[in-house]
Amino acid sequence: MDIKAYLQKNKIVSDGAFGTYFGQLYKDTNVLPELANITEKEKVQRIHREYIEAGARLIRTNTFAANTISLNRDIQVVKQIIRSAFDNAIVVANTAKEQVFVAADIGPIPEMPFEDEGDVEDEYKEIIDTFLVEGAQIFCFETFSDDSMVATLAQYIKEKEPETFVFAQFSLNKYGYTKMGIRAQRILDGLDSCEYLDGVGFNCGIGPAHLKEIYGKLSLKGNKFYTAMPNSGYPELLQDRAVYSGNSDYFADSICKIAQNGISILGGCCGTTPDDIKKIAKSLDTKQVFGNSIVPRKEEGMIEEPKINSFISQLEQGKKVILVELDPPYDAEDEKIMDCAHLLKASGVDMITFADSPMGKARVDSIMMGIKVKNQVGIPVMPHIACRDKNRISMRAGIMGAYLNGIENFLFVTGDPVPADSRSEISGVFDFNSIKLMQYVSEMNEEHFKQRPVSFGGAINYNRANLDMEMKRVEKKMAAGAQFFLTQPIFDEEDVNKVRKIKEKTGAKILCGLMPLISYRNASFIKNEIFGINVPDEVLECFRPDMTREEGEAAGVKVVRSVMEKLESIADGYYFMLPFNRVHLVKQILK
């Protein structure tokens, strides 16, 4: 009998945690248990056997972290581990007294911030292909934080093997959100229509009581098999090791109550052991008619229309908006930057943007600087948010705090890396890359900012060696919610044509970067030492080493005006970066 037919009449008890139980059993938490599939098969098979003897009728292969990033091994070694892991599980399942189903277990691949996302999808597909060759008929994607990849991978599996059973599980916090900020109900609603996915549910990150509470509030349509595999509880850190102190009777009682919501596959995640599964198997009434006990969808109240964002409104109406970037100070002296902000407001600038510690050198926080300027000067502001310095918690807290202080526009960038000479003391965080952060904030707009959604944009790197790849990234950012884009300063005719090509291909709203160079030394420095900005020789020739300050500034203004003429049919606005915050140049340029 296949698992789908079995689930039509029976709930199924799954196994519990593999990784934490492996560490508990063999007193080794420093080695990923996936490596033991080859070198210590008997240990792996023992854990599978204990879960089956406890009453599990579905076991997952010991492959949660079997990918090149987590294991720091090449793909050929990963494939070898997968083949051995599947064999270990099948060997044990085939010797069981009752039928035991084996699921190919696939966890999320940690994404490196500067890698092409296509590489990650390709690796998932290589992992899937390896399982399919071995004969896998059940696939379990677990502990995911968003559904962006799941539907694609489920379709890939079903198109190769239509009779496979595919289910996906997502990790929640106790409030019912994934770490990407997606609400549990939105996960279910988003995947309900995925014809390639047979089951969906939640595992990890949350204890049984909180998952019971969350499932009690969810609306389940009943066209999927739902799963629940919470942690045994919440861990305590002892000697750098996460220790779970769950109670098997309490855990089993909670799982049985969760099952009453129409849940078909029940088991455990981190901290759970065969004792927990044994208690569930003894207590759970496994008979079911698929689709019963499903909670109907609740009626939703009237939703007010979102408030209009004036900056986005100006862009949509075709007004060429003017943004000026100011670098927050390195120290606590803010008099100069506040003077600059007042001058820019008087010059008719639409918005001031604040860089987020550019070049990996600490400056005053961009959000805090923005709040002060907004409140004291009365001009709209746009903080830049770099993914380099803040973890997921800090990023969310900062954006929420900015929102409460009336900031509704952001620029999201992956961020310059930490300088090489500081890496022994300073670590880059990169919980997100720019696209992932945009997706995260799009969810925050849905969940928290619906009446006044924040707007955000991204950067365009028109100097990328592969311009087609950059255009694809722009399209991905737009799909993630980006409403506008800023570029590096443009000087060169060739760069104007590149931006034109990006505009024509994507339809993006582009604010073209402009930088009024102020001297021969300044122009020579930008040309030779700043990566990603092309200063052609004919621009450098506009400056002489013996120019006065006034002559240098006048030459810079003339160059920028010439570039603006070339960008007139392309630019949706202009984004000024001013050497040494010389804001008076903007007024001269815009005369």
pLDDT at residue 215 greater than cutoff 60: yes
Measured CA to CA, the distance from residue 431 to residue 181 in angstroms comes to: 13
Looking only at the bridges linking them, the beta strands covering 409-413 and 381-386 are parallel
- pTM over 0.85, yes/no: no
Region 10-30 average pLDDT:
88
Instruction: State yes or no: pLDDT of 202 exceeds 60.
Output: yes
Residues of the chain with CATH 3.20.20.220: 320-589
Instruction: Convert the pLDDT of each residue in 434-447 to its tens digit.
Output: 999 999 999 999 88
In CATH, what number does 320-589 get? 3.20.20.220
The residue written with tokens 């849940």 in the block is 263
pLDDT of residue 181: 82
For residue 558 the two structure tokens come to 């003339």
Non-local CB neighbours of 50 within 8 Å, separated by 6+ positions:
274
Q: Does domain 3-283 have CATH number 3.20.20.330?
A: yes
Is the pLDDT score of 114 beyond 50?
no
Express each pLDDT in 461-508 by its tens digit: 999 889 999 999 999 999 999 999 999 999 999 999 999 999 999 999
Length of the chain, in residues: 591
Predicted local distance difference test score (pLDDT) of residue 179: 85
Tell me the pLDDT tens digit for each residue of 129-142. 999 999 999 999 99
Rounded Cα distance, 283 and 252, in Å: 7
Instruction: Please say whether the beta carbons of 15 and 280 come within 8 A.
Output: no
Amino acid at the residue 207: G
Alpha-carbon gap, residue 440 to 453, rounded angstroms = 13
Q: Where in the chain is the domain with CATH 3.20.20.330?
A: 3-283
Buried b (16+ CB within 10 A) or exposed e, 124-147: bebbbebbbebebbbbbbbbbbbb
